[in-house]
């Protein structure tokens, strides 16, 4: 019995140890995490069932053992009385053999009695003996048994001793009643007149092993039946747990997706108990809140039209990238991408078509950059791209591919088809950049330079071509521009415009420069994008008009009759009445004839706001001033609208003039522009005339005026009054003219 109990306890301890180590029902969640709740519940079910089972079996074994022991004792006492009675004849006669034969016959079919011995009163001599087994060792009577005093009548003393296994040894004195001698004739004697006398001893061994074996077999069968019951209960419990936990288990995969940041999950489906339904509802409420928050962030950080990130988000990521390249010593690139002639599409087919164009161009640009790069729409038709982990050559390669793919694209709006090109400015972002804003401003400046060179090209920011002071896109730099306007820290440099066929007198284009700290002159390519971003272009236009009139009055006061070509921004068309008022006031203040002022507006700026431009040009014309369309040809599709603008001059873009001696198509373009201008009664000015051969050729094509390094570089002071007389066309025509290149040299840049 004890052996079975110990084995059961050992098995339970082993199962509990395995459970603690996670070896039993070790159901793990996907990804190798902790055990699942279902597995833990099943393990708890099994362990609990095992504990109950072992406790029940141990209780059965313990109580069964106690029952066997009690039964053995009771049977031994019963046999004591019977054997005492059967052995009486042994002490009553001198011949014990008949009594022993009767005893043997009685015990022959009683396997529980191992032996029986009858001793004399001294306990030393055996009067009779029965042995069921051969070689059964004879056990001597103990001194305690021999010294047992006779009990009172009605009581029977005996001793029980457990041997090994289920055997019990019973020893007891054999007693008889004895009457006192004087009580023999007393018929009314009572128990007090009697006493007990020991006449011998009875010793036998009772073996309950057969009963115990039968009981153990019954107990084992019962234990197995109980184990089967518990096994069935575990299987049914396991099925019930899995079924009850199935709705909760189904939440595992959506929750894993949610943990990975995927909020496009639906947890409303599925059954389950009230608690699980509450969990689903809470999760759905949380997911809905996350979606609303994500939508709010998307609206706050994305452009509503194109779906690209907006300016605020891009600047934040650009600052992070600036810290990254400084820490890791890498380089990235910022690309400023601006559509050429976008306003023409808006003006011809409407704003809705313009929006569709922006959406399609955004798709083209997104396809040309990598997933880890960033593309944003800043404002209007301007896009900014952050190309991570590239050097200068890599950035140029990306820009070249963008130019190519956009140029191949044609935008269709009804029956109209529009060619699309972009100008791209490139600025490198590395540890040498003081701030991310500087790189952004440099890219914008390079983009502006690419536009002045005809568009449909890319331009890498170069300090010699577009100088920028530190933090040029910061509020501090914008305040510096405002201060420069107030303190006249801006100035003009002059570039002569030469009449090729007639002596038109002195004509100069006034090119704006900003005087930086230290006296360095900063070209408009650097500070105009900053002025545009901070809304300072209108103030610059007003300053330019007032200062140009002052300079013209000063020159005329010196006895020289000069005509100034003055550059204005496209913002003048948005405040036409203010412009006309300022021009009229300045002409009256300085007593100037209006025909000596020519205001230059880029072709693209005029076409974007054609109706306003025509009204402004006509209003300024009433004051005697004239207009010139600058950079003409960069938007060649606008020739259809030229007749609607009463401009006096067309300034042919330098992109055609610069290479016309080696590119027949450029020469054709120049000839076509001249013919159209002549038909409309307009004069032409060729820009970027760099050599005498080009000068002679444009004169042969009928160009009216020329300006460029072949004539003179921009200078801070007007040339000598005899400059134009020494450069008459008949001298250049015969090859006898000497191109004057004297005067201070200022590297050419984008004009104001």
Average pLDDT estimate for 625-631: 90
Nearest to 290 by CA among 254, 258, 256, 251: 258
The pLDDT score that the predictor gives to residue 189 is 54
Between 213 and 591, where is the model more confident?
591
The pLDDT score that the predictor gives to residue 44 is 79
Residue 202 DSSP SS3: strand
Tens-digit pLDDT profile for residues 406-462: 988 888 887 777 888 899 999 999 888 777 888 888 888 788 778 766 678 888 987
What is the value of pTM for the model shown?
Answer: 0.43
Between 12 and 545, where is the model more confident?
545
Report whether CATH 3.30.450 matches the domain 90-181+192-207. yes
Matching CATH number, 475-734, of 3.40.50.970, 3.40.50.12280, 3.20.20.450, 3.30.70.360? 3.20.20.450
Matching CATH number, 302-460, of 3.40.50.300, 3.30.70.270, 3.80.10.10, 3.40.630.30? 3.30.70.270
Nearest to 492 by CA among 556, 573, 546: 546
**Is-contact 525 468, C-beta < 8 A?**
no
The pLDDT score that the predictor gives to residue 471 is 44
- From residue 527, how far is each of 61, 80, 422, 699 by CA, in Å? 100, 128, 21, 35
Pairwise CA distance, residues 565 & 568, whole Å? 10
Enter the tokens of residue 679: 């038909």
Pairwise CA distance, residues 106 & 701, whole Å? 155
Tens-digit pLDDT profile for residues 85-137: 888 788 877 677 888 888 888 888 888 888 888 888 888 788 888 888 766 66
Tens-digit pLDDT profile for residues 540-571: 999 999 999 999 999 999 999 999 999 998 87
Q: Where are the domains of the chain?
A: 2-62+214-249, 90-181+192-207, 302-460, 475-734
The pLDDT score that the predictor gives to residue 477 is 64
Pairwise CA distance, residues 672 & 653, whole Å? 13
Tens-digit pLDDT profile for residues 290-336: 777 777 666 667 888 888 888 888 988 998 998 888 888 889 999 99
**pLDDT score of 577 more than 60:** yes
- The DSSP code for 478 is H
**pLDDT score of 580 more than 50:** yes
Tens-digit pLDDT profile for residues 472-491: 444 556 667 888 888 888 99
**Long-range contacts made by residues 659-664, C-beta under 8 angstroms, separation at least 24?**
660/694, 660/697, 660/698, 661/691, 661/693, 661/694, 661/697
């Amino acid at each position: 019995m004890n052996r079975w109990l110990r084995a059961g306890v050992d098995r339970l301890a082993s199962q509990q140890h395995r459970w603690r180590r996670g070896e039993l029902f070790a159901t793990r969640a996907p990804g190798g995490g902790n055990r699942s709740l279902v597995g833990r519940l099943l393990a708890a079910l099994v362990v609990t069932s095992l504990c109950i089972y072992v406790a029940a079996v141990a209780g059965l074994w313990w109580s069964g053992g106690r029952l066997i022991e009690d039964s053995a004792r009771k049977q031994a006492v019963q046999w004591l009385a019977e054997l005492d009675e059967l052995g009486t004849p042994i002490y009553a006669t001198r011949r014990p053999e008949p009594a022993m034969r009767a005893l043997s016959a009685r015990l022959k079919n009683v396997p529980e009695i191992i032996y029986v011995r009858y001793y004399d009163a001294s306990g030393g001599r055996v009067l009779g003996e029965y042995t069921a087994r051969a070689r059964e060792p004879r056990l001597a009577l103990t001194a305690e048994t021999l010294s047992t005093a006779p009990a009172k009548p009605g009581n029977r003393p005996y001793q029980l001793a457990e041997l090994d296994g289920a055997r019990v040894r019973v020893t007891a004195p054999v007693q008889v009643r004895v009457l006192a001698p004087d009580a023999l004739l007393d018929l009314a004697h009572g128990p007090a007149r009697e006493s007990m006398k020991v006449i011998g001893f009875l010793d036998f061994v009772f073996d309950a092993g057969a009963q115990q074996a039968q009981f153990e077999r019954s107990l084992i069968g019962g234990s197995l039946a109980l184990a089967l019951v518990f096994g069935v209960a575990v299987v049914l419990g396991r099925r019930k747990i899995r079924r009850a936990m199935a709705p909760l288990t189904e939440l595992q995969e959506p929750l894993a997706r949610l943990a990975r940041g995927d909020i496009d999950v639906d947890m409303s489906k599925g059954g389950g108990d009230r608690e699980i339904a509450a969990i689903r509802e809470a999760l759905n409420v949380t997911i809905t809140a996350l979606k609303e928050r994500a939508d709010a962030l998307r609206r706050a950080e994305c452009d509503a039209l194109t779906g690209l990130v907006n300016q605020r988000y891009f600047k934040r990521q650009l600052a992070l990238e600036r810290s990254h390249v400084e820490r890791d010593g890498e380089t990235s690139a910022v690309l400023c991408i601006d559509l050429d002639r976008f306003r023409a599409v808006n003006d011809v087919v409407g704003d809705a078509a313009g929006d569709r164009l922006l959406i399609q161009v955004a798709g083209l640009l997104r396809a040309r950059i990598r997933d880890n790069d960033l593309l944003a729409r800043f404002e209007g038709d301007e896009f900014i791209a952050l190309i991570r982990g590239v050097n200068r050559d890599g950035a140029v390669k990306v820009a070249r591919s963008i130019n190519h793919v956009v140029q191949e694209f044609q935008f269709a709006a009804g029956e109209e088809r529009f060619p699309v090109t972009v100008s791209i400015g490139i600025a490198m972002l590395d540890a040498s950049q003081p701030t991310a804003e500087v790189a952004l401003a440099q890219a914008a400046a390079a983009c502006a330079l690419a536009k002045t060179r005809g568009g449909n090209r890319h331009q890498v920011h170069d300090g010699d071509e577009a100088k920028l002071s530190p933090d040029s896109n910061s509020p501090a730099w914008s305040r510096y521009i405002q201060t420069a306007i107030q303190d006249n820290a801006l100035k003009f440099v002059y570039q002569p415009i030469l009449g090729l066929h007639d002596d038109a007198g002195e004509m100069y284009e006034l090119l704006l420069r900003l005087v930086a700290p230290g006296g360095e002159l900063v070209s408009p390519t650097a500070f105009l994008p900053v002025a545009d971003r901070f809304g300072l272009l209108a103030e610059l236009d007003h300053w330019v008009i007032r200062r140009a009139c002052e300079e013209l009055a000063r020159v005329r006061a010196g006895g020289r009759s000069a005509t100034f070509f003055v550059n204005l921004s496209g913002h003048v068309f948005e405040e036409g009445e203010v412009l006309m008022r300022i021009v009229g006031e300045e002409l009256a203040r300085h007593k100037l004839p209006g025909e000596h002022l020519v205001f230059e507006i880029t072709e693209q700026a005029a076409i974007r706001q054609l109706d306003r431009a025509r009204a402004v040009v006509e209003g300024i014309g009433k004051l005697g001033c004239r207009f010139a369309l600058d950079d003409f040809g960069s938007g060649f599709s606008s020739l259809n609208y030229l007749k609607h603008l009463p401009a006096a001059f067309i300034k042919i873009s330098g992109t055609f003039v610069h290479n016309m001696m080696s590119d027949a198509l450029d020469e054709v373009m120049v000839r076509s522009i001249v013919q159209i201008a002549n038909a409309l009664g307009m004069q032409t000015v060729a820009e970027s005339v760099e050599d005498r051969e080009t000068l002679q050729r444009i004169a042969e094509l009928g160009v009216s005026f020329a300006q460029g390094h072949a004539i003179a570089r921009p200078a801070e002071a007007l040339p000598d009054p005899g400059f134009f007389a020494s450069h008459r066309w008949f001298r250049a025509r015969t090859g006898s003219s000497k191109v004057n290149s004297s005067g201070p040299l200022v590297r050419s840049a984008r004009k104001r």
